[in-house]
Amino acid sequence: MEQLLDFYEQLGVSRAVYGYGEAALERLKDRFDAIDKIAEYNQAKVLAAMQKNRVSAACFAATTGYGYDDVGRDNLERVYADVFHTEAALVRPQITCGTHALTVALSANLLPGDELLSPVGLPYDTLQEVIGIRESPCSLAEYGVTYRQADLLPDGSFDYQAIGSTINDKTKLVTIQRSKGYATRPTFSVKQIGELIAFCKSIKPDVICMVDNCYGEFVETIEPSDVGADMVVGSLIKNPGGGLAPIGGYICGTKACVDRCAYRLSAPGLGQEVGANLGLMLSLYQGFFLAPTVVAGAEKGAIFAANLYEPLGFTCVPNATESRHDIIQAVELGSEEAMIAFCKGIQAAAPVDSFATPLPWDMPGYNDKVIMAAGAFIQGSSIELSADGPIRPPYAVYFQGGLTWYHAKLGILLSLQKLVDAGIVRL
């Protein structure tokens, strides 16, 4: 034990901060056990899907060019469809990020004259230009798709009255953002999402319900596709990639919706028949296999963060005791100085670029300066240890990831250490 403390000191964590963290961990044993049970269930679910679809070494072979008859690619999509309990899936390295996956899903299933509804308030920053809330070339608005939203109630719950009055004959697609994004509101549980979908379809049965599932995969034993979502969409460099996927995104859902997404991603008439895997199949399969365990570690890190920061007077969303439905932990730090100190701690804990200093910068797709800390093996991989946030009140930083629980633990301890060193926090 003394040697472990010596290592933590070498890494920059004082014994006082380490001891404060250990006291918090004593209170979390039952919660961590419950997370492990969910991970065990989800691990069995993924393994069963891989065995059912007879994953073999042949599935890892590289393809190039058009990618015709790509056995591994097509089988991976069957595995995803079975895990998410959907008719079809599109899982491609040609999808560059979560925003791209959402853009494909929206633009494929909305036509000029259709209306898009967000019943959960303003969407995440990068999606605002996709929709045309903020003007941008090639936005949905530019192609004649209109947009409406129903804001959440002050307590973060759905305003069913406003949603009901907003759905109309033009409403073609409802987009539901599961995670909080850069907002300090609750993340929605799968049960809550199912209730919202049922309500929307009770008013307009043929409306398409799409869930932005980023950061939520494998946190629960069910996914939004189990409670009526026509499409669930996410990024492979978040939860389902397990930290191994170097790029990619997925769209799981009804065959009608996924077929259109494939035509939009490649070209009409080509759809899922083209798209070489470029030798990435081993990483995509293995990452998906590891994802339930990796997600469990990241969730523990988020809970640990809330239980360190909330007793020090910082507002945490979720708070230290609430149930969790994604891997993101928001901590309202109150100042730009505190955000920078927090992110310096996360960066200092990284295996890559630990020597770098994160600073706010003008990031594409955002109105405010954004600070990001991430020393990741995969650029932008937010299932790896990372923290980020826009420089605007309430100066909240959003912590997530950690390929192992122990790395997430170190990152949180170092973030607190930097705040202590800066004189912002006193233990």
Is residue 212 in a domain? yes
Is residue 50 in a domain? no
Is residue 47 in a domain? no
Provide the edge-to-edge strand list for the sheet that holds 88-92. Answer: 88-92, 249-253, 231-235, 208-212, 171-177, 115-118, 146-149
pLDDT at position 119, please? 98
Q: Which residue has the higher pLDDT, 363 or 17?
A: 17
What pairs with residue 355 in β-bridges?
none
Q: Is residue 240 reached through a cis peptide bond, with omega within 30 degrees of 0 on the bond before it?
A: no
Q: pLDDT grade, residue 363 (50/70/90)? A: confident
pLDDT at position 214, please? 96
Q: What is the mean pLDDT of residues 22-49?
A: 97
Cα 212 vs. chain centroid, distance in angstroms?
8
Same domain, 248 and 320: no
Two tokens at 85? 């309990």
Same domain, 250 and 331: no
Provide the edge-to-edge strand list for the sheet that holds 370-374. Answer: 315-317, 329-332, 396-400, 386-390, 370-374
- Angle, vertex CA 153, rays to CA 149 and CA 156, nearest 5: 100
Q: The pTM is what?
A: 0.96
pLDDT at position 51, please? 98
* Domain end residue (candidates: 268, 288, 308): 288
Phi, psi dihedral angles at 221 (to 5 degrees): -85, -10
Same domain, 264 and 349: no
pLDDT at position 366, please? 78
Query: Over 80: is that where the pLDDT of 365 sits?
Result: no
Same domain, 250 and 381: no
pLDDT at position 293, please? 98
Q: pLDDT grade, residue 61 (50/70/90)? A: very high
Is residue 158 in a domain? yes
Q: What is the mean pLDDT of residues 228-243?
A: 98
Q: pLDDT grade, residue 238 (50/70/90)? A: very high
**Alpha-carbon gap, residue 337 to 330, rounded angstroms:** 16
Query: Over 80: is that where the pLDDT of 364 sits?
Result: no
pLDDT tens for each residue of 297-313? 999 999 999 999 999 99
pLDDT at position 181, please? 82
Query: Over 90: is that where the pLDDT of 115 sits?
Result: yes
Is residue 427 in a domain? no
pLDDT at position 208, please? 98
Same domain, 220 and 299: no
The answer to whether the beta carbons of residues 171 and 203 sit under 8 Å apart is no
Contacts of 402 (CB under 8 A, 6+ apart): 297, 298, 301, 384, 385, 408, 409, 411
pLDDT at position 418, please? 98
Q: pLDDT grade, residue 2 (50/70/90)? A: confident
The closest alpha carbon to 359, from 342, 346, 377, 372, belongs to: 372
Neighbours of 184 (CB within 10 A): 16
Same domain, 340 and 385: yes
Query: Over 80: is that where the pLDDT of 77 sits?
Result: yes
Is residue 53 in a domain? no
Q: What is the mean pLDDT of residues 369-381?
A: 94
The closest alpha carbon to 128, from 364, 361, 365, belongs to: 365
pLDDT at position 367, please? 81
pLDDT tens for each residue of 378-424? 999 999 999 999 999 999 999 999 999 999 999 999 999 999 999 99
Number of domains in the chain: 2
Same domain, 175 and 265: yes
pLDDT tens for each residue of 169-206? 999 999 999 998 888 888 999 999 999 999 999 999 99
**Alpha-carbon gap, residue 386 to 347, rounded angstroms:** 8
Phi, psi dihedral angles at 370 (to 5 degrees): -125, 140
Query: What percentage of the chain has pLDDT greater than the value 90?
Result: 95
pLDDT tens for each residue of 258-274? 999 999 999 999 999 99
* Domain end residue (candidates: 263, 288, 313): 288
Is residue 48 in a domain? no
Same domain, 88 and 27: no
What domain range includes position 319? 2-42+292-421
The answer to whether the beta carbons of residues 252 and 232 sit under 8 Å apart is yes
CATH number at residue 192: 3.40.640.10
Same domain, 160 and 270: yes
- Angle, vertex CA 98, rays to CA 303 and CA 281, nearest 5: 95
Q: pLDDT grade, residue 247 (50/70/90)? A: very high
Same domain, 32 and 77: no
Is residue 372 in a domain? yes
Q: pLDDT grade, residue 1 (50/70/90)? A: confident
Query: Over 90: is that where the pLDDT of 357 sits?
Result: yes
